[in-house]
Amino acid sequence: MFYHIIDILGTIAFAISGVLVAMEKRLDLFGVLIVAFVTAIGGGTLRDVLIGNTPVVWMRDATYMLTILVAVVFAILFSGQLKYLRKSLFFFDAVGLGLFTLIGIEKGLQAGLLPGMCIALGTMTASFGGVIRDILCNEIPVIFRKEIYATACIFGGIAYFMLVTLGIPEKYSYIVAVVAIITIRLLAVRFGIALPNIYKKQNG
pLDDT score at 86: 45
For the chain, which residues make up each domain, given as ranges? 2-196
Per-residue pLDDT tens digits for 39-62: 999 999 999 999 999 999 899 999
What phi, psi does 194 have (nearest 5°)? -145, 165
- Distance, in Å, from the CA atom of 125 to the CA atom of 128, rounded to the nearest integer, reads 6
Q: Which residues of the chain have pLDDT under 50?
A: 86, 204
The sign of the torsion formed by the CA atoms of 73, 38, 7, 92 equals: negative
Q: Which long-range contacts (CB under 8 A, 24 or more apart) does 196-200 make?
A: 196/146, 197/146
The pLDDT of residue 85: 53
